[in-house]
Amino acid sequence: MQLLIITVMAALAGNPQLASTNAPSITNLSLSALLPKNDPVERDYRRLLEMDDDAQTEVDQWIKEDEQFKEKGVQGITLRARILQRFEPVKKAYEEFLRKNPNHVEARIAYGSFLNDINEEDNAEAQWQKAREIAPANPAVWNNLANFYGHNGNVQRAFDYYAKAIELNPKETVYYQNFATTVYMFRKDAMEHYKITEEQVFQKAMALYYKALDLDPQNFVLAADVAQSYYGIKPKVTGDAEADKKAADKQTDEAIAAWLKALQLARDETERQGVYVHLARVQINAGRLDGAKKNLDSVTNDMFSTTKKLLLKKLTKMEGTNAPSTTTVTQPAK
């Protein structure tokens, strides 16, 4: 489930900003393989999940094709209608299954995720609330409701619901990651809810991120999320120049260490070069220009060319000269 949160919600709602979320890596098809094979209800549920995944996979392809048409100047006018039409039988199948099996918690969770994916968020909440009534000890329900409240204005309830999900299952990485992201994004709400300072809010968010990384230490995307979080953290200014410099240097060191961790976990050359870009940016911002040059030398992928040029321009300006960089671009060692 949630295979197409980003693309489907963007296509249906026309607002890609709403599509920023974290979701477990398990899909409906992988989940269906874990279900009992001889139970007729679970067989029907397995078919339902497969139907859901088939529809989302097909819609994903349509969206990709539509993007290609737009790049060529062709407007995909009927895409939204096609998507809704394709999902309608899936929606009816969920409703029919739940009519026959109203206390099937996993089906209600899956149906809520499906509705959320197609931007029927209020109906998704209703399904998850019903699932919570049936199975209050199910941590996935609390996490999904927390996601809903985080996206729909009741952030302080989201904090409590993430905490409940973690209490029920302290081994699930995504709960910590979602909790950390919400605390980080909604700092004022977190300050009010927990009666703590902004600096303590950052500390809480980072502790949650690092707990998630401890549970899933090979997760590149999570490691990159942790590293990117340092962009929003500003060291407290005390007026003591030496102390303030030490604090800034310490934070820079921590950010670089986080990006180096992500670099170790990068799965291909594109991800590695993306990390080099971030490392260079952090180093330039901290005035560590030699290290930034070395990392920019490792960036050869055209997709990063614009960002690289901007960083080189900033680096050159900081060096006090308008001369172009003479560094030689070489392929980094793997």
Which sign does the torsion angle of CA 196, 19, 259, 320 carry? negative
Q: Kindly give, in sequence order, each residue whose CB lies less than 8 Å from that of residue 159, ignoring residues fewer than 6 positions away.
A: 146, 179, 182, 183, 189, 190, 193, 194
- Residue of higher predicted confidence among 98 and 15: 98
Minimum mean pLDDT among 228-237, 255-264, 300-309: which range?
228-237
For the chain, the straight-line distance linking the first and the last C-alpha, in angstroms and rounded, comes to 35
Q: Both tokens of residue 227?
A: 């590293």
Look up residue 249 and give its amino acid: D
* Pairwise CA distance, residues 107 & 168, whole Å: 20
pLDDT tens digits, residue range 221-238? 999 999 999 998 887 788
Range among 20-24, 66-70, 92-96, 326-330 rated most confident: 92-96
Average pLDDT, integer, range 63-68: 80
**How is residue 196 written in tokens?**
């703590």
Note the pLDDT of residue 76.
53
Residues 6+ apart with CB under 8 A from 47: none
Which DSSP string corresponds to 8-45?
Answer: HHHHHHS-GGGG-----S--HHHHHTTS-SS-HHHHHH
Report which of 128, 221, 109, 214 is spatially closest to residue 171, judged by C-alpha positions: 214
The residue written with tokens 């904090």 in the block is 159
DSSP 8-state assignment for residue 171: T
Arithmetic mean of pLDDT over the chain: 84
Q: Which residues of 161-190 are buried (b: 16+ CB within 10 A; e: fewer)?
A: bbebbbebeeebbbbbbbbbbbbbebeebb
Q: Range with the lowest mean pLDDT among 16-20, 64-68, 110-114, 123-127? A: 16-20
Amino acid residing at 23: A
Confidence of residue 309 (pLDDT cuts 50, 70, 90): very high
- Domains of the chain, by residue range, sit at 1-135, 217-334
Q: Which residue type occupies 52?
A: D
**When comparing pLDDT for 324 and 168, which is higher?**
168
Q: Give the mean model confidence (pLDDT) for residues 207-231.
A: 95
- List for the chain the helix, strand, coil content (%; round to 5): 75, 0, 25
Choice among 28-42, 186-200, 276-290 with the minimum mean pLDDT: 28-42
Q: What is the mean pLDDT of residues 256-263?
A: 96
Q: Answer for the pair 193, 159: CB distance below 8 angstroms, yes or no.
A: yes
Residue 198 to residue 85: CA distance in whole angstroms: 47
Cα–Cα distance, 166 to 255 (Å, whole number): 26
Amino acid 65: pLDDT: 84
Q: What sign does the CA torsion over 308, 314, 320, 324 have? A: positive
Going along the chain, which residue ranges are E strands?
Answer: none
Nearby residues of 80 by Cβ (< 8 Å), 6 or more positions away:
11, 12
Looking at residue 13, its pLDDT comes to: 34
Range ranked top by mean pLDDT from 26-30, 150-154, 176-180 = 176-180
Q: 59, 34, 55, 56: which is closest to 45 by C-alpha?
A: 34
**CB-based contacts of 136, cutoff 8 Å, min separation 6:** none
- Residue 269's Cβ-count burial label (10 Å; 0-12, 13-18, 19+) is middle
